[in-house]
Structure formats: structure tokens, C-alpha cells
Structure 1
Amino acid sequence: MRFLLRAIDALSWFALMCAGAILIYAVSHILLETVMRTLFDTSTHVLDEFIGFAVLSVTFLSLSWTLRDGAMIQVNLLTLRLPRRVKQTVECIVAACATGLGAYFCTFLWRNLAKNWKRGAVSESVAEVPLWIPDAIVFAGACLLVLQLSALTIRPFTAKAQES
């Protein structure tokens, strides 16, 4: 079980590093576009689309590690006042429900990805980016979030097993 949790953490870390690389790309593309427009009166003609894809990718690829790191926003107005055992139980139930809802959401993302792949759908810009590419990144990020939510659900039980 611990191996599985470490594998999920490693995948989440890798996705975070990919998100960081995409962020560096986005800043570089914006700088390139600024220089091209200012000095050469020309453009790449795909800035809006590519930066949109980049923001989408950074968001979804960073979700799982954000959850793992405890940096995701949590509304804990009620759980702060609960005893530790009850708080842990409530958090476990919430994580299990979120895992189910996230998995259900992933089915819709998968259908959209498969549809765009099958149809060969491309973006409406000059670049004609195959839409399955950003769909695949979003799907991967959402699946990693579901895996991290499931790990959050079982992690307290693995900690108890180690204590015994």
C-alpha cells in the first residue's frame, strides 16, 4: 500500500514539474510576442490560444500536488472544533465522496477526449491544434487528482497500520 501511495505522490510531483515547465513556456511565449510586436511589427498569431491551453494545463497538472501538499483551500470552520478522531473521520468521508465525484467527472472528460480524437477536431486558429492534446492533459490532471483524493482517503489507515 505504501508503494502505491508513493507512486501517486511521484506522479503528482512529475505533473507539477510539467506544469512548471509549461508556465516557463507561457512566460517565454508572451515575452517573444511582446518583442515581435514591438520591434518587428509582427506576431506568432497563436498567443491567445496557446496561453489559454497553457493556463488550463498548469491548473489541472498542479491540482494533485496542491492537494497532497495541503495547499488546497479548505473550509474547515466546522472541523476545527471537532475532536481529532471525528475530524479525521469527516475528512475521510469527504475525500471519499470527492473521489467518487472526481471519477464521475473524469468520465465526461474521457468522452470529450475520445470524441475529439475520433473526429480529428482541431482548433479554429492558424495552428489548428488537435483538440485531443489539451483534452488529454486535462484528463491526466483530473485523474491524478482523483488518485490523490483516493490516497487522502486511505492514508490515515496506513498510518495507523504503521503505528501498530
Structure 2
Amino acid sequence: MTALNSIRKYVLACALALAVVAMAVVGLMMLTITYDVIVRAVFSAPTDWAYPLNSAGVLAGTSLAIPYFYAKGQHISMDLVHRALPPGLRRTADLVTSAATAFLGVVLALTAYRSMAVAIEGGLTGSGTFSIPLWVPDAVLFVSGVLLAVVAVLFPPPPPDAVAEDQPPSTAAPSTEGTPVPDDGDAASGTAEGKARS
């Protein structure tokens, strides 16, 4: 079990590194888009590199962050049916979701690898000043797909009961904020209304 935990820590560190790269890419996109808007509006001199560069940036910023968010359970998700199932079937549905995620990662990696091979063999490049080689975005998708498949296997959803057990019981007293305070007269009186208010 210790070896598995070590592997998980290493994989999570790799996923976090890719997420940090994704954040840096988003920051660079903000700068390049701002620059392009300023020179377009002020100097009437739009760039020919901002659009292709930021198109690749959107792809990198999105795909590189997915494995980390999946491993931490912070990705966007939607429960349509299986949360209403009994715990045994719910666990099965969670494992099916993990298997589907791993399959998606494998398909993404294989498709990106084939596209990357074609781009390298043909020397394909994008348009604009920088002429980004098209194998670069394919390589980003390949790495993201491989890591997503690994993360889906190593970080399956916790059992439904474990989620409830992980949360500590609440020891705080119930809040009385917003509760009306009864009049002393009503509380002191022996009427049912006074007792109900107190």
C-alpha cells in the first residue's frame, strides 16, 4: 500500500505541475490578448500571431488542468441519476464513470499521438509570425490524455459511505441569529402561545 501511495503522490505532483503550466498559459493569453486589443484599437495595427497563439493556449490551458482537477475531485461534474441509487449500485456507477474517464484519456492520447506523428512527418506548422509547429498542441493533448487515464485508475471516487465518514460531526451550537426573541410577558405567562414562542 505504501508503494501505491508513493505512486499516487508522484502522479498528483505531475498533474499539479501541468495545472501550474495551464495557469501560466492563461496568464500569457491575458497579456497577448490585451496587447492585441490595444494595438488594434489605438494604432490600427492588429497582430497576425495573437489568434493562432491563443487558440493553442486555450487548448493547453484547458487540457493540462483536467488531470489535476479530476484527481482532486474539483472538476465540473453533474449527477443525473446514480446519486439516487442505493450505495452498492452508486459505487458501481462511480467505477463505471472512472472507467469511462480512463477510456477517454486513452482515446485522447492515441488520437493525439497519431496526429502528432503526421504533423512531424509532414512538417506542418500553423499560420502567423510564430508558425507554431502543429505537433506541439498534439503533444499537449497526448500528455494530458496519458495522465488523465493514469489519474482515473489511481484516484477512483471514494465509496459513498467514506464521504460521509470523512466529514467531522458538527459540534457547534445551532445558530439563533434571526430567531425572534419572545417578550418577557409572553414567556412568563402560562398560556400555550407564550410557551410556543419561548
Q: Which runs of 5+ in 1 are unaligned?
A: 160-164
Asked if structure 1 preserves the Cα contact closer than 8 Å seen for 2:124 and 2:134, the reply is yes
2:112 aligned partner = 109
2:87 aligned partner = 84
Matched ranges for 1:35-114 at <5 A: 35-114=38-117
Larger Rg: 2
- Aligned with residue 26 of structure 2, among 23, 28, 35: 23
TM, length-normalised to structure 2: 0.71
**What's the CA shift string for 1:138-160, capped at 9, x where partnerless?**
2112222112111233976xx9x
Cα pair distance change 1:153/1:71, threshold 3 Å: closer
* SS of aligned partner of 2:155: helix
Q: What RMSD in Å do the two structures reach over aligned CA positions?
A: 2.1
2: CA distance, partners of 1:6 / 1:135: 26
- Aligned with residue 4 of structure 1, among 7, 20, 23: 7
Identity %: 22
Q: Which runs of 5+ in 2 are unaligned?
A: 163-198
**What's the CA shift string for 1:25-72, capped at 9, x where partnerless?**
000001111222233332331111111111111110111122123232
Asked if structure 2 preserves the Cα contact closer than 8 Å seen for 1:26 and 1:54, the reply is yes
Q: Which has the higher contact order (CA 8 A, sep 6+)?
A: 1
- Aligned with residue 125 of structure 1, among 107, 123, 128: 128
TM, length-normalised to structure 1: 0.84
| The structure with more helix, counted as a fraction of residues | 1
2: CA distance, partners of 1:102 / 1:42: 41
